[in-house]
Amino acid sequence: MAPKRKNPRKPVKNEEDNLMQRVCANKRERQRTKELNDAFSILRKIIPSMPSDKMSKIHTLRIASDYIRFLDQMKRDDCKLFGVDIFDEKGGYGLQTSFNIWRGSHGLTQSSGSSNIMSPIGIPAPMPCSIPHMNYYMGGYVMKPEYMDNGVNPADLPQWQQ
């Protein structure tokens, strides 16, 4: 005869134990949600965005993904955007503006037109942008024709000065 097995079922809990377990699970879930929301809040402050961006969680992740690709491309291209160096002696690297130009030209996480550019911490960036040969105009980006000799194709950029 085979030995008897112990009952694999857990002992029946009373209502008070079930309630306590549910309260603890709810508390853990609220804490997890708070930590996730805090992380998204930090990410929204770090990644460049425009005022017209609807910074939902999914949009924030998409912009962050695009920004990583942009930074990788800047590293590969020696900090040049469309053949133009994004470093300015006075303003340093114009990553915010450069990213928004790059983003618009690639059709990535585009937002509707905007008249202001926001810095990564949400403060309006000074205009004109810190890329020496670029100007900001009427909510879009334009490049002056005199700087067109560097091989940039006008059709590749979002908007051109007439």
- The tens digit of pLDDT for each residue in 103-153 reads 766 555 544 333 333 334 333 333 333 333 333 322 333 333 333 344 444
Predicted pLDDT of residue 146: 37
Strands 92-93, 134-137: parallel, antiparallel or unpaired by DSSP?
A: unpaired
Model confidence band, residue 20 (pLDDT cutoffs 50, 70, 90): very high
pTM for the whole structure: 0.49
Residue, of 157 and 49, whose pLDDT is higher: 49
State how far Cα 112 lies from the chain centre: 16
Start-to-end CA distance of the chain, whole Å, equals: 95
Q: What is the maximum span of the chain, computed from C-alpha positions, in angstroms?
A: 97
Report the amino acid identity of residue 148.
M
